[in-house]
């Protein structure tokens, strides 16, 4: 019995050491950043935001041909825009609140106009009654 317990202890120690070595090898090869991973290379001579500056220079070099605004075809275009009505109901204060949740006498504005909501005190509808079967009993 003592020999079996001694063997279990030795095997446990060996297993822990082997797992520790495997973990160390794994973490040292992949987990730690290499020195080449920490180097930042810059192709723009170290100027921060050089890509933004080049885009800005491209935008500044654009020219707008204003002749399109004086063209006969563009002058014949019609404006079909419509004015929005001013007195449009805006909806309820809390659109996520159930309609029958409001306290008695409170008002809310719905697309149909202002309405008064009251809580319902009616009981929930009961389950339908079973229809007796017409079997020959």
Query: Is residue 110 included in any domain, yes or no?
Result: yes
Strand pairing class (113-117; 106-110): antiparallel
Query: Is residue 101 included in any domain, yes or no?
Result: yes
Distance CA 130, CA 137 (A): 17
Query: Is residue 104 included in any domain, yes or no?
Result: yes
Query: Is residue 100 included in any domain, yes or no?
Result: yes
User: Total domain count for the chain?
Assistant: 1
Query: Is residue 10 included in any domain, yes or no?
Result: no
pLDDT digit string, tens, across residues 40-72: 655 545 677 888 999 999 999 998 888 888 888
For residue 109, the enclosing domain spans 91-117
- The pTM for the full model equals 0.24
Distance CA 57, CA 49 (A): 13
pLDDT digit string, tens, across residues 9-20: 999 999 999 999
Secondary structure (3-state) at 24:
helix
């Amino acid at each position: 019995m003592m020999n079996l317990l001694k063997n279990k202890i030795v095997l446990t120690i060996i297993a822990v050491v082997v797992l520790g070595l495997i973990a160390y090898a794994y973490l040292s090869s992949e987990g730690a950043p290499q020195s080449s991973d920490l180097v930042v290379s810059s192709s723009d001579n170290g100027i921060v935001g050089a890509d933004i500056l080049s885009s800005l220079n491209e935008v500044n070099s654009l020219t707008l041909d204003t002749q399109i605004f004086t063209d006969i075809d563009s002058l014949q275009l019609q404006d079909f825009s419509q004015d929005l009505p001013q007195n449009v109901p805006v909806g309820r204060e809390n659109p996520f609140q159930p309609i029958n949740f409001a306290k008695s006498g409170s008002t809310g504005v719905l697309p149909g106009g202002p309405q008064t909501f009251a809580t319902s005190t009616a009981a929930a509808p009961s389950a339908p009654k079973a229809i007796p079967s017409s079997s020959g009993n």
